[in-house]
Structure 1
């Protein structure tokens, strides 16, 4: 990997005029054909099966770069390899110290144990970091079955955040199982597959990919959702 400072003097469709840091990563693998390359940054596009990849890596990197005013570009040829460039703008101003230490008021005083379940290590670790920043203690599991084993060994979660489509038991099935003994436990189902739309309408859901602020907003709505469901049953 290499990192080089670059200046763009003529704006392009993806980059404005300005100064950037260009990060480049290249390999000498089998490369991608044109149809695969055209969909490489499409959310949830993957050449792997369920449980072997989410198709979110390049999509999240592309979205983050665009959100920051940069870009991600990919050059690839079959039999030659792939080169990915991440362009990030260089800021001309220093960050505001006061804003940097501010925390959101929505769940800044959150306490409790979160059982976080996702079969994708990168996604699970990223989500765990967000939850810990909110003040939660996080216990992780890479499958619904592993999560049930943790509970069987004595873990008593205050909140369940789980992916839906995983090898074996789904996140919704896991939630149903745990809610039998913990009917008041808040649950957040995380999924992004189109075929899962409309499933489990009684369980709050967050669509992948998501940012920290979106996760925070979803968690802050859980108490309102739970209160409403309990009122309906009364």
Structure 2
């Protein structure tokens, strides 16, 4: 069983990922049924005149971890306390009424939900989402298969990663690797850990590939800027011989490379 501190660390490290203005209801985990999910979703959207909506993905991740914590029966008080702490950090430095109410409602009325979670089975039509990273779909589908008790957390990791990529943020693959590792720690089974390791190895190769591309891109930009500065400082007459040595098509490689960057 994971300690209270371990689960809290999961929340703290993951909620650093940014959110977006659009977050569809079908991916919303907060609530025990369709009605309470809808109320929770709408309250988040309207809270603070909409100012708290930018934290939707972070708050949703807290709910995913909390749901899986209940399902694994890791202790109601433990799960609830970490949930409330997660919500506070998800909206920091702002204070959102909607998240405060989520915490209060869970503490006061979560007993039945916790007991029901002991026999809960994920729906067969559970929609799996994989990160928008080429070449890792197979590994992530295996992750869902081998980690059935934390599928909501894995799905939320994927959602957060897609937001990270869409916002063109840095270290998206690394964040995802940490996120799925914490999901595996939550389930705490050998088959889940092995599937997680496979996914992480695939992500590691993608990160190395991206780093190589970024390094080459930076070098190309520097060379282009140096060439441009040199040209402005001392214009030269382009002879036929010079033209052949410096094919104009080569000068466009830097721009083309950046446009096709992963």
TM-score interval w.r.t. the shorter chain? under 0.3
Q: Which has the larger radius of gyration?
A: 2
Larger RCO, structure (CA 8 Å, separation 6 or more) = 2
Answer 1 or 2: which has greater helix percent.
Answer: 2
- What TM-score, normalized to structure 1? 0.24
Answer 1 or 2: which has greater strand percent.
Answer: 1
